[in-house]
Structure 1
Amino acid sequence: MKNLTIPIKYGLAIGTALIAYFLILSLFGAHTNPIYSLLNGVLAGYGIYEGIKHYKLLKGEKFKYQKGFAAGMLSGFNATILFSVFMGIYASHLNPAFLDNIQWRLTGETGLGLFLFEVIIMGFATSVVLTLSFMQLFKKSWNTKDGKRHTYNKEEKK
C-alpha cells in the first residue's frame, strides 16, 4: 500500500479513543470489569469503518477490495499496538496492582506478558472480524450484467 497515511491516522485515532475510554473507566473504578470492554469493539469498529470509507473516497473507481481490506486491517493493527503499549506501561508502572484486580482471570496470577498477549490477540481478532464484515459493505456487487458474465449458467452453454 503506497499511501499509509490512512491506516496510521485512523490507527492513532482508534488507539487514542481506546486509551481515553480506558482512562475514563479507571476514574470510576470500572476498568477492571470486563463487561465494559465491549465498547472497545464499537470504538474500533467505527474507526475501521471510517478508515475504509475514507480510503474508498480517496480511490474512487480505482478502489480494490484487497487495498480496502489492507487499510482496515492496518488501522486496527496500529490501534492494537498503540493500546497494547499503553496497557503495558499502565499495568507495569502507573498501576502495578491492576493485574491483581482484573476480574476475568480465573486462577493464579496473571503476568504482564500473558496479559499483553491477550490484549494483542483480542485486538487483532477484532480487527480481522470487523474488517471482513465492513468490506462486505464496500465491495462491488456482482449482481450486475457485467457480474453475470463471471457465473456458470448451464442453459447458456447449450
Structure 2
Amino acid sequence: MKRSSVPLVYGSFIAVGLIVYFLILSLFGLHEQPVYSAFNIVITGVGMYLAIRKYMALKKSKFVYQKGFSVGLTTGFIATVIFTAFFAIYASELNPEFSKELLMMWETDWFVNIGMLVFTVALMGFATTFVMTLAIMQRYKPSWNTKEGQKHTY
C-alpha cells in the first residue's frame, strides 16, 4: 500500500463501519435516537488511529507531526463525506419518514428539511474528525521530557 492511499482506504473502512452500525441500529428501531450516535466516535477514532499508525509504518524517514495530523483529518473527512452521502440517500429515498420520526423528539416551530438534517450530520462528522485527530496525535507528538526538550523550557 502506498502512503498516499492510506487515508482513502481507511476512510472508506470507517465509512463502511459507520453505515453498518447505522443499519444495525435501524433493524432494532434505535436509529431514531441520537444518543446511539455516540458510538460513532469510537468507530471513527479506531479507524483514524489505525490509519495514522499504518502511515507511520510506511514512512521510511522520521515521522512528522503535521503529516500524521493531515492523514488523520483526511481519513476522517473522507469517511464523513461517504457516510453523509449514504445518510442523505437513506433519509430522502430509502426511508423518507425517517427525518420526520427523528425530529419528532424536539418540539420546535422551525421547519427543518432534509438538507438541514444532512448538513448537521456532516458537521458532526467533521467536528468528530477534528477532535479525534487532536486526541490521537497526542500519542505521537514528540516529548519534551528529554535533555534537548528541557533547553526550551523556563
For normalisation by structure 2, the TM-score amounts to 0.91
2:138 to 136, 139, 143: 136
| C-alpha contact (below 8 Å) 1:100/1:110 kept by paired residues | no
1:140 partner SS = coil
1:62 partner SS = coil
Structure-2 separation of matches of 1:3 and 1:105? 45
Match of 1:146 in 2: 148
The sequence identity of aligned pairs, in percent, is 48
2:96 partner SS = coil
Match of 1:27 in 2: 27
Match of 2:5 in 1: 5
Structure-2 separation of matches of 1:144 and 1:106? 56
1:121 to 120, 123, 126: 123
Written as runs of structure 1 = structure 2, the 5 A alignment for 1:32-111 is 32-59=32-59, 61-103=61-103, 105-107=106-108, 108-111=110-113
**Quick check: which has more Rg, 1 or 2?**
1
Q: CA RMSD in A?
A: 1.6
Structure-2 separation of matches of 1:60 and 1:46? 23
Distance 1:75 1:13, change over 3 A: same
| Per-residue deviation, 1:55 | 1.2
Residue identity opposite 1:89 in structure 2: I
For normalisation by structure 1, the TM-score amounts to 0.89
Structure-1 separation of matches of 2:107 and 2:145? 49
Residue identity opposite 1:35 in structure 2: V
Deviations along 1:5-32, one digit per CA (max 9) or x if unpaired, are 1110110000000000000010111110
| C-alpha contact (below 8 Å) 2:3/2:59 kept by paired residues | no
The 4+ residue runs of structure 1 with deviation greater than 3 A are: 103-106
Q: Which moved more, 1:106-115 or 1:87-96?
A: 106-115
Structure-2 separation of matches of 1:152 and 1:80? 39
| C-alpha contact (below 8 Å) 2:10/2:51 kept by paired residues | yes
Q: Provide structure 2 residue ranges, at least 5 long, that are not aligned to the other structure.
A: none
Deviations along 1:38-97, one digit per CA (max 9) or x if unpaired, are 111110011111111111122255210000000000010000000000001001110000
Residue identity opposite 2:119 in structure 1: F
| Per-residue deviation, 1:110 | 2.5
| C-alpha contact (below 8 Å) 2:3/2:55 kept by paired residues | no
Residue identity opposite 1:41 in structure 2: I
Deviations along 1:119-145, one digit per CA (max 9) or x if unpaired, are 111000000000001101011112112
